[in-house]
C-alpha cells in the first residue's frame, strides 16, 4: 500500500453507489457514517495509520449538537489512530 495521504472531499451527498461504498468503508474502520459531515472530507493517512475526517459534534442523547444560535450543527475534526494502515478508498471514488 502507498504511504501517500488521499483526501476525498464532497460538497453534497454523493451519488448512491458512492455513498453506500463509503458507508461500508467507514464502518469497516469503526466510524459511524451518520456522524460524517456533508459537505465534508475524509483523509486516509496510511503512513501514519490514521483516518481524519470532519464529523458532527453529538449531544448527550447522541443527536447533533447545535451552535449557540441553534441554527446549525457543530462540526469537529477527528483523527482515528489505527493498528494497521487504512484500507484503500473504494474503487468507485478513486479517480
Any domain includes 26: yes
Domain count, the chain: 1
Any domain includes 76: yes
What digits encode the pLDDT tens for the residues 27-39? Answer: 999 999 999 999 9
- Residues 4, 7: Cα–Cα separation, whole Å: 10
Q: What is the pLDDT of residue 3?
A: 74
Any domain includes 86: no
Any domain includes 29: yes
The domain containing residue 75 runs over which residues?
Answer: 6-81
Segments in the chain below pLDDT 50: 1
Any domain includes 34: yes
Q: String of b and e for 65-87 (b: at least 16 CB within 10 Å)?
A: eeeeeeeeeeeeeeeeeeeebbe
Any domain includes 90: no
Any domain includes 37: yes
Amino acid at each position: 500500500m502507498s504511504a501517500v495521504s488521499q483526501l476525498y472531499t464532497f460538497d453534497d451527498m454523493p451519488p448512491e453507489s458512492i455513498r453506500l461504498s463509503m458507508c461500508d468503508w467507514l464502518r469497516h474502520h469503526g466510524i459511524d457514517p451518520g456522524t460524517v459531515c456533508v459537505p465534508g472530507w475524509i483523509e486516509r493517512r496510511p503512513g501514519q495509520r490514521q483516518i481524519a475526517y470532519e464529523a458532527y459534534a453529538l449531544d448527550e442523547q447522541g443527536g447533533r449538537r447545535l451552535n449557540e444560535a441553534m441554527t446549525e450543527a457543530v462540526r469537529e475534526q477527528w483523527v482515528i489512530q489505527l493498528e494497521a494502515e487504512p484500507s484503500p478508498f473504494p474503487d468507485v471514488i478513486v479517480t
